[in-house]
Amino acid sequence: MNWYPFLTGLSAPQQLHIPDGFLSAPVAIIGWVLAVLTIAYALRQTREQLGERQIPLLGVLAAFIFAAQAINFPVAGGTSGHLLGGALAAIVLGPWAAVLVMTAVIALQGLLFQDGGLLVMGWNIINMGILTAFTGYLIYLAIKRIGGSEQRSILIGGAIGAWLSVEVGASATAIQLALSGTTPLNIGLPAMFGVHALIGIGEALITVGALALILRSRPDLLRQGEQAGGTASAAWVAGGLLISLIVAIFSFAASGSPDGLERVAEDHGFIGSALDPVYHILPDYTIPFIPNETVSGIVAVVLGTLVVFGVAMMIGRMIKTERAESHS
């Protein structure tokens, strides 16, 4: 049994494990700072929640997520559906425990198998661990709250949460690549969003299958995950991450360039060939170019999220009314 084909097969279709070199150093370091703060808080929260069981439980479940990522199913044309696992872990364990489980998985993949870089690991942890866990968990809870705690709303909540968690992680990756000047947002974001809309379906199907089985054999586990606590703080941190992401985008946009020195060098080359005064070139090109792209990207993300939230709300309502009718 060889590990390499299994690992490359794992990372190739997902395109979420960012290797070193694709993010600029400032962007990578911001990612580490955000990740470390969240992990530190998660460590404290799970310590209260799990006590001494923290290390054995989370360690074995991290190994589970790693192994479960090898479980695939054929889709079409040689492609296959995979599990990322952040949403599933968050629904069963609670968001803070899931953050630690996913952090361990991503750390091991990066350290031992070079699946994802070391300097950019902060963002990999945020994209695939923190954002997926919070998105999956909060959507699942919201739909359960609207639709009631019967099996159908649990499964629908799990499905939408899992699908959206992959989308949020992919969109965040696209934003970081744009901030580093690797992929323009107007190309990267639609591409990541589009590809992961399909990959997210695999994630949703596997998550629902797993939840259905757990619901039938150990329903007590799901109740534990919900009472894991930290829902309010989870929402705060998710909001805080979102705000800091937006602030980061705007601060980079305001400075007019994602990576100062390189941009300046390019502008100089451009100026040299255009033979025009500097103050003529700047308003025509640098300032309008970046912010427009960034702002349109932000608008796209916000609109997309709102649409999905709207659809989720509507589905929740439909379940609720249907249930009310069948009861009457």
Partner 1 sequence: MHIHFTDQYHEGESLIHRLDPRVKVILTVTFILTVSLTPFGAFGSYVMLFALLMATAVSAHMAPIYLLKRSIIALPFALAAITLPFTVPGDTLATVPIFGGITISQAGTIRFVSILIKSWLSVQMAIILVTVTPFPAVLWALRALRLPSPLIAIVSLMYRYLFVLYEEATRLLRARAARSATVDGVRSGGSIVWRGQVAGRMAGSLMLRSFERSERIYNAMLARGYKGQLRTVAHSHLQTIDFLVGTVTVLILLTILLFARIW
Q: Which is nearer to partner 1, 81 or 86 (CB)?
A: 81
Q: Which residues is 73 bridged to in the sheet?
A: 81
Q: Which is nearer to partner 1, 208 or 248 (CB)?
A: 208
Subset of 194-223 contacting partner 1 (CB under 8 A) = 201-202, 205-214, 217-218, 221
Burial class (CB in 10 A: 0-12, 13-18, 19+), 84: buried
For the CB of residue 45, give the shortest distance to partner 1 in the complex, in Å. Answer: 12
Q: Is 70 in the site for partner 1 (CB under 8 A)?
A: yes
For the CB of residue 299, give the shortest distance to partner 1 in the complex, in Å. Answer: 20
Task: Give the angle 59-130-310 at the CA atoms, nearest 5°.
Answer: 135
Q: Is 172 in the site for partner 1 (CB under 8 A)?
A: no
**Among positions 49, 135, 183, 294, the unique one binding partner 1 when judged by CB under 8 A:** 183
Burial class (CB in 10 A: 0-12, 13-18, 19+), 221: middle
For the CB of residue 153, give the shortest distance to partner 1 in the complex, in Å. Answer: 17
For the CB of residue 304, give the shortest distance to partner 1 in the complex, in Å. Answer: 20
Asked if 28 contacts 119 with a C-beta cutoff of 8 angstroms, the reply is yes
Alpha-carbon distance 219 to 142, whole Å? 19
Convert residues 45-64 into a mask of x (bound to partner 1 by CB under 8 A) and - (unbound). Answer: --x---xxxxxxxxxxxxxx
Convert residues 82-121 into a mask of x (bound to partner 1 by CB under 8 A) and - (unbound). Answer: -x----x---x-------xx-xxx-xx-xxxxxx-xxx--
Alpha-carbon distance 130 to 238, whole Å? 9
Q: Which residues is 81 bridged to in the sheet?
A: 73
For the CB of residue 1, give the shortest distance to partner 1 in the complex, in Å. Answer: 4
Q: Which is nearer to partner 1, 146 or 257 (CB)?
A: 257
**Among positions 78, 232, 261, 275, the unique one binding partner 1 when judged by CB under 8 A:** 261
Q: Which is nearer to partner 1, 255 or 313 (CB)?
A: 255
Asked if 82 contacts 10 with a C-beta cutoff of 8 angstroms, the reply is yes
Q: Which is nearer to partner 1, 33 or 213 (CB)?
A: 213
Q: Is 22 in the site for partner 1 (CB under 8 A)?
A: yes
Tokens of 305: 């999220």
Count CA atoms closer than 13 A to 270's CA, side-chain side.
Answer: 13
DSSP secondary structure letters along 57-111: HHHHHHHHHHHHTT--EE-STT-EE----HHHHHHHH-HHHHHHHHHHHHHHHHH
Subset of 27-46 contacting partner 1 (CB under 8 A) = 28, 39-40, 43
**Among positions 24, 132, 135, 171, the unique one binding partner 1 when judged by CB under 8 A:** 24
For the CB of residue 248, give the shortest distance to partner 1 in the complex, in Å. Answer: 18
Q: Is 275 in the site for partner 1 (CB under 8 A)?
A: no
Phi, psi at residue 64, to the nearest 5°? -60, -50
